Amino acid sequence: METEFTPFASLLGGGIIGLSAVVLLATQGRIAGISGIVSRILPPSVDKAGLPRDHISDWSAARGTALVCLNWSCACSNGFKQWVAISHRWFAGRVWCGHGEWLHKRPWRMRYLARISAVDCCNHDIYGHCLCDCFCFATCPGGLRTCVYSAHSLQVFCLGWDLFCLEWRTPQKFRTSLICLAHGIPALLS
């Protein structure tokens, strides 16, 4: 397939990809290799493959990648300005989610949160996305609102899967996971 030679756009695109790799390393401590990320969410599980058990980070990385992919597809179909607007709201969501992960990773700083488990961390993530959805419904115009809502629904779906994998034996968590999975289905179909 013959493609047009676009040196500046290509350089800018490469720079953005590089920036995303740096952000992933700075926030999650992981290398942005998409085949590795995809590999981690496929069977057999990380335990059976002899890799360190690290569901939350793996899923976070996978979710981040899914969102980057979604953002790129929005960029292709709707133009750069909308992509920037979506990324900015996505970033706000990640900051909130990062806060949830921070609470989970550093319970010693807040003793009353010492009982926070990985599942509660997922819950923080879900609250963050619900908050972002409300914010987006209040501020975004129609088409963009659909894009942002789909992005967050996709993340809530992933979180539901997290919950299901980690705590399916607990009835309350099992119900929550089903609700999250149901919430995300329209995003997967859209």
> What is the binding site for another protein (CB under 8 A)?
1, 10-15, 17-19, 21-22, 25-31, 34-36, 38-39, 42-44, 48-52, 54, 57, 60, 65, 69-70, 72-73, 76-77, 98, 101-102, 105
Minimum distance, C-beta of residue 115 to another protein, in the bound complex (Å): 19
Q: Cβ closer to another protein: 25 or 134?
A: 25
Give the nearer residue to another protein in terms of CB position, either 11 or 134. Answer: 11
CB nearer another protein, residue 84 or residue 134: 84
Nearer to another protein, 10 or 170 (CB): 10
Shortest separation between residue 30's beta carbon and another protein, angstroms: 5
CB of 101 to another protein, least distance (A): 5
Contacts of 59-62 with CB under 8 Å at 24 or more apart are: 59/158, 59/161, 59/162, 60/28, 60/97, 60/101, 61/24, 61/28, 61/30, 61/37, 62/37, 62/38, 62/158
CB of 126 to another protein, least distance (A): 17
We find the least distance from the C-beta atom of residue 26 to another protein, in angstroms, to be 5
Cβ neighbourhood burial of 131 (10 Å; 0-12, 13-18, 19+) = middle
Task: Determine the Cα–Cα distance for residues 57 and 72; give it in Å rounded to an integer.
Answer: 22
* Residue whose structure tokens are 């969501």: 93
Question: How far apart (Å, rounded) are the C-alpha atoms in residues 161 and 139?
Answer: 29
Angstrom distance (rounded) from CA 21 to CA 23: 5
* Closer residue to another protein in complex, CB, 72/164: 72
